[in-house]
Chains A and B, each alone.
Chain A
Amino acid sequence: MNFWFAVIRQTGRNLRQTWTTQLITCLTVSLSVLIFSFFYLIYLNMLSVGNKLSDNLHLVVYLEDEPGPEMQEQLRLKITQFDQVEAIRFISREEAYHRFAQQLGDNREILTDMPRDFLPASIEVVPLRTLRSLRQVKLFSEYLATLPGSQKVQYGQQWVERFYSFIQLLSIIVLLSGSLLILTATFMVASTIRLTIFGRQEELELLKLVGATNNYIRTPFLLEGLLQGFGGALLGLIALYSLFQWTTHHISGVGFFNLFSFTFFPFSTISTIILLSILLCAVGSYASMQKFLRV
């Protein structure tokens, strides 16, 4: 019988003897994983929604006068000084008139008596399609308002601000639920191991006296922690996946949500969550052993 065989047998025996405590810990860890990964999944999906919505995001700077080529170059320079942008387009009064006429469609005759330069010239700035650009769009618009000849800056202020607040709220929730995961995984496992150590004090003392090495005594506790981390994460993720499947099945066909395709975590994220949970539980288990296991 080698070391690992003996240790695994010892772990199995302990799990059998204290299965109720172990199960409660495992469920607590899985609940924490579920809460954290639930919000993280919403967050990730909202980011992708944000990316899709920001495809249409652009800022329009209305100008007092139509800039000449030299002025256009200067304005382009000034804009890129603030931030990198996807595109900058100059719209002349004439072009603005044509666009407007096109938008009016069959009603374009109302423009018959209007001069062709009654609309102001403008610059269309398309920011980079990143969340950072979304976050900076207000600052960007304020900056664009200071450009020489700028009259007014317009963008979908309301939805951008609301969407950004929503994303911010989500990221706070993700952080909080992440902390909850750390606390429960570490402390619950630590306290379970502590209880097990207290409950088996007599046995551990005996093991020591009959010549068990420190590793022989400690490793089963570490394995228990690892198993609780793995089992908890797996249970939590399976529950989340079931919830995800149920939700996507039930909301498909509901207007707004049809615009976006919601996705579950990629394999790399699933592995990371499981590894994180294992790591946290191992830390909890190790901390308890260091503190209470006098071997």
Chain B
Amino acid sequence: MNKLTGPPEERVTAHHTAMIEIIKVAKSYPPNVTALADISLTIASGEMFFLIGKSGAGKTTLLKLLCNMEKPSNGLIEIAGMNIHQVTGNKLAKLRQKVGMAYQDFRLLTNRTVAENIAISMEVSYKKPQIIQDRVRNLLAQLQLEDKHDILTGDLSRGEQQRVALARAVANSPTLILVDEPTGNLDAASTEQVMDLLARCNHSGATVIVVTHDEAIYRHTRHRVMKLDNGRIAGLTQGSSSGQPLTAGDQDDAENMDKGGELP
């Protein structure tokens, strides 16, 4: 059996305690479009995880299930031991405060300033105004957007909007960060800033899941990479973020997947 596609209990190395447990999850849309089928996966707390695949492979659908924007047709998703699709009301709100998501379409409020957009995620958890202000300035500095503080996000370029969306996702120091195509509109320098920011969040303990097409950001990664194809897991590299270096085989797996090839 392929070491990367075997049963969940064998194929996943839980580094610490599990942050995300996905068990036999399927998602279909009427009339009979299967977006995801039989997805089982465990992502450890503090892990950085890359999710790749062609357009329409089901990557964004999986993220939407993880942040409870949609419900699975079948199966179970647990975050920090909680079945997120059974959590409602204030408990769900508290859970969402701990999950930061950067959407592919950014979901910025274009009639609000950059600072206001980033502040939203902290305001809902009643952070003090001074703390919010400091955090906003700090994040803008990290993403080299200091001069955009009071600019309406509608007036920004797509690349700038993308970075603001990411800043909002990480602003409230969430324990789980879900990022959908974070570097799609960015040049190499901005991509590096974004990946540095995500790496810092990861080092400070956050679990980070990155959905991407950009092979430059996962090609030589030490973290696990999972490929989705037609809503199914097409491959999963072992990674070595627990401290073990990537084996040559793992590297090849990742590279194979980049080319859309099957895992050995």
Interface residues of A, Cβ cutoff 8 Å to B: 1-3, 5-6, 9-10, 17, 202-203, 205-214, 216
Contacts and interface: CB of A to CB of B under 8 A. Distances in A.
B121 interface: yes
Contacts of A214: 89-90, 93
B203 interface: no
Interface residues of B, number: 27
Nearest to A200: B109
B174 to A, nearest CB: 9
A2 B124 contact: no
B123 A209 contact: no
Contacts of A3: 126
Contact of A1 (B90, B94, B129): B129
B96 A1 contact: no
Contacts of A216: 93, 124
Contacts of B123: 1, 6, 9-10
Interface in B96-137: 96-99, 101, 107, 109, 111, 120-121, 123-129, 132
B67 A209 contact: yes
B127 A211 contact: no
Given A17-B111, A211-B125, A213-B90, 12 more contacts: A202-B107, A203-B109, A205-B107, A207-B124, A209-B101, A209-B107, A210-B120, A210-B121, A210-B168, A211-B93, A213-B124, A214-B90
A210 B167 CA distance: 13
A212 B124 contact: yes
28 contacts: A2-B126, A3-B126, A6-B124, A6-B126, A9-B123, A10-B123, A202-B107, A202-B109, A207-B124, A208-B96, A209-B67, A210-B96, A210-B121, A210-B124, A211-B93, A211-B95, A211-B96, A211-B97, A211-B98, A211-B99, A211-B121, A211-B125, A212-B124, A213-B89, A214-B89, A214-B90, A214-B93, A216-B93
Contacts of B125: 211
A202 B168 CA distance: 16
A274 B248 CA distance: 77
A42 to B, nearest CB: 47
B67 to A, nearest CB: 7
Contacts of A203: 109
Nearest to A212: B124
Given A203-B109, A206-B120, A216-B124, A211 B129 contact: no
B33 interface: no
**Shortest beta-carbon contacts, A-B, top 5:** A211-B97, A211-B96, A212-B124, A213-B93, A210-B121
A211 B67 CA distance: 10
B188 interface: no
B97 A209 contact: no
A217 to B, nearest CB: 9
Nearest to B99: A211
Nearest to A17: B111
Contacts of A5: 126
Nearest to B67: A209
